Amino acid sequence: MAYEKELDAAKKAASLAARLCQKVQKALLQSDVQSKSDKSPVTVADYGSQAVVSLVLERELTSEPFSLVAEEDSADLRKDGSEDILQRITKLVNDTLATEDLTKAIDSTLTTDDLLRATDCGTSEGGPNGRHWVLDPIDGTKGFLRGDQYAVALGLLEEGKVVLGVLACPNLPLTSIAGNKNSSSSEETGCLFYATIGSGTYMQPLDSKSDPVKVHVSSVENPEEASFFESFEGAHSLHDLSSSIASKLGVKAPPVRIDSQAKYGALSRGDGAIYLRFPHKGYREKIWDHVAGAIVVTEAGGIVTDAGGKPLDFSKGKYLDLDTGIIVANEKLMPLLLKAVRDSIAEQEKASSSL
């Protein structure tokens, strides 16, 4: 398999980061004192996850220059008054690394300075040349705080093209969520999706060595039988526009709303057939919100484009320049979806101009 060494390192890094996040989320949900408006748990998990991924990738792949495009830098952790949270993150990262035999990868117990340096490895700008890892250490922070879906999303760009993606989804059931967005507590959860270019997409349990299974997107051809995913948070996507598009397609099922790139993972195994994401005007999509998810879906047979039908271009740095939004479907549904998107957007623009 192409990129085998890189894939092994990415799977290890994302799985360990997910383990760290699970520990923080469990403590958060068990705590009566912790206000859901208190963002410190997600801060600890976010920085801790990024540091773990950075450290594991850098030490596992020593033979090549290391470039990481990620969400966080250490500026806030260096401010006065941040010492306690920095100590918490450093301890959490050390505890996480100690659970795995990483003696070859990590030389010794990390200091707070090591933690800051590892965090700042994620300040690359990306671009069209060379290799760049792309990370969202916790994609779906609001889902994380609620105890719902989130993902550690890690991808690799080579000369501006996505060649590898890993999604660690700790709360996603191993069985389909189609028609069942509220999973029962008895269901086994925790999925690891991964894909490399030209090799397909695979899923395996996050916390076991079970053999991976190859997955494929839904083969539904009739839009009336299709279900669609959209963001849980209304602030992240225009639900009214999605509803109009679904209506034009004749989709009968209500939308499945979940947080994070766990949607891409669920789509890759056929839990739904369509994903619609239409951010509010002025919002700029970041590449780390889509790099890993996009290849996981495309290698499973899906198509990911902007609202105009153009492929996503990850070679421009940290941001995506998009036509209106992002849409995902299988090959059969995509032409119908594009038409419904065009018609709905045109109607919306006409209504706005007549006000």
Known binding residue 139? Answer is: yes
Q: Establish whether 141 is a catalytic residue.
A: yes
Written as one string, the DSSP assignment of 229-254 is EEESSGGGS-HHHHHHHHHHHT--SP
Q: Can you read off the two tokens belonging to residue 124?
A: 């690359």
Known binding residue 71? Answer is yes
Residue 125 assigned to a binding site: no
Among residues 43, 46, 114, 196, which one is catalytic?
A: 46
Closest CA to 179 of 249, 277, 271, 297: 271
289 in a labelled binding site: yes
Query: 129-167 burial, b for 16+ CB within 10 Å, e for fewer?
Result: eeebbbbbbbbbbbbbbbebbbbbbbbbbeeeebbbbbb
Token pair, residue 270, equals 């056929």
Q: How far apart are CA 21 and CA 17, in angstroms?
A: 6
Is 313 annotated as a binding-site member?
A: no
Active site residue 76: no
d(CA 146, CA 298): 30
Helix (H) or strand (E) run with residue 353 in it? helix 334-353
Cα dihedral 127, 128, 129, 130, rounded to 10, equals 70
Q: Which of 141, 189, 196, 305 is catalytic?
A: 141
Q: Which residues are annotated as a binding site?
A: 71, 136, 138-139, 289
Residues involved in catalysis: 46, 141
Q: Which residues are annotated as a binding site for Mg(2+)?
A: 71, 136, 138-139, 289
